[in-house]
Structure 1
Amino acid sequence: MNKNEFMKELSRNLSNVPEEEKQDISTDYDEYFVIGIEQGRSEENIALSLGEPKTIAKQLRANYMIEKAQSTKSSRNIGRAVIAGVGLGFFNIILLGPFIAIVGILIGLYATAFGFTIGGIGIVLGTFLKPIFPQYISMGVNWIISIAIGIGLSSAGSLMFIGCKHLSKWLYKETIKYLKTNIKIINGKEEQNHERI
């Protein structure tokens, strides 16, 4: 594979990366070829030592997605970073299942917190609206107990929501940390392969 073929393949596989970032990457790899040629190496030898453009593009795309998720926190960005990370290796595919399970549990906890909060508010409102609409609202407990239960449920839901928020931040941070570590490991293996060639 010569320089033109390498650069075309690399560019083609850098989807979801902004044009400005692609230009920087192209400039860097162009520089590798210039330096290699100055050292008397052939374009084919340089391309071989750099590795497969498709693999390089996957790593660069994953790196970009991770940096984007770290700088702009959103579920969309972390989702894209995880998907890009999964494309880097089989081990990541294995970890995708537990990650999805943890996210599912977290969504369930948020839903429970929301249900407790709304349920508590509903009980308190129902207690106050019972005298106005006795035909629609029936409560078999004293109004003081009813209000206490409502406030207790709302408080439990609010505390649960705060806990879920902290858990979400922790999971986000740990996911970014894992993906960065994974890329370092993969890059280390790639560098070892380059040194052997």
Structure 2
Amino acid sequence: MNEKQFLNELNGRLASLDPQERKNLLAEYQAHFAIGKERGKSEEEVAFDLGDMGELVADIYLLKDEQLTPVKNNRRKYWLIGGLILVIVFLVVPFLLMMIAFFILSV
């Protein structure tokens, strides 16, 4: 597989990514080919050295998912905080109001 074929296939398999992100990744792999050519390798050798296209694409998407994980964790934090606020509003506040009313009425 030559450079053009490699980049076209990679571009097709990364179609679901943001266009700017895809452009950056393609530029990165073009740089791999340029470096390989400078070192005297053929385009086919560089493509072979980069590895299986399926594994390469899977790794790219895996890295993208790992970058999104902190956002998912933040969502969980917000839900937890919201739940705690609801517990305080609906359980603790009425209990405190009952205690205050009890002490006021008992005096």
Range of TM-score over shorter length: 0.5 to 0.7
| Match of residue 92 from structure 2 | 120
Which amino acid in the other structure matches residue 144 of structure 1?
A: F
More helix by share: 2
- Could you tell me the TM-score, scaled by structure 1's length? 0.38
1:29-88 Cα distance to aligned partner (Å, 9 max, x none): 112212323333222211110112332233333334444555xx4x3x879xxxxxxxxx
| Match of residue 102 from structure 2 | 144
For residues 20 and 5 of structure 1, the distance between their equivalents in structure 2, rounded to whole angstroms, comes to: 20
Which amino acid in the other structure matches residue 34 of structure 1?
A: A
- Residues 78 and 27 from structure 1, CA distance in 2 versus in 1: closer, same or farther, beyond 3 angstroms? farther
Which amino acid in the other structure matches residue 44 of structure 1?
A: E
For residues 108 and 27 of structure 1, the distance between their equivalents in structure 2, rounded to whole angstroms, comes to: 41
User: Which structure has the higher relative contact order (CA within 8 Å, separation 6+)?
Assistant: 2
| Match of residue 86 from structure 1 | none
For residues 18 and 78 of structure 1, the distance between their equivalents in structure 2, rounded to whole angstroms, comes to: 22
| Match of residue 50 from structure 2 | 50
1:1-197 to 2 correspondences below 5 Å: 1-67=1-67, 73=71, 75=72, 111=83, 114-123=86-95, 127=98, 143-144=101-102
For residues 24 and 37 of structure 1, the distance between their equivalents in structure 2, rounded to whole angstroms, comes to: 20
Which amino acid in the other structure matches residue 18 of structure 2?
A: P
Q: How many pairs are equivalent?
A: 101
Structure 2 alignment gaps of length 5 or more: none
- Residues 16 and 42 from structure 1, CA distance in 2 versus in 1: closer, same or farther, beyond 3 angstroms? same
For residues 118 and 22 of structure 1, the distance between their equivalents in structure 2, rounded to whole angstroms, comes to: 49
1:95-127 Cα distance to aligned partner (Å, 9 max, x none): xxxxxxxx7xxx6896466335312334456x5
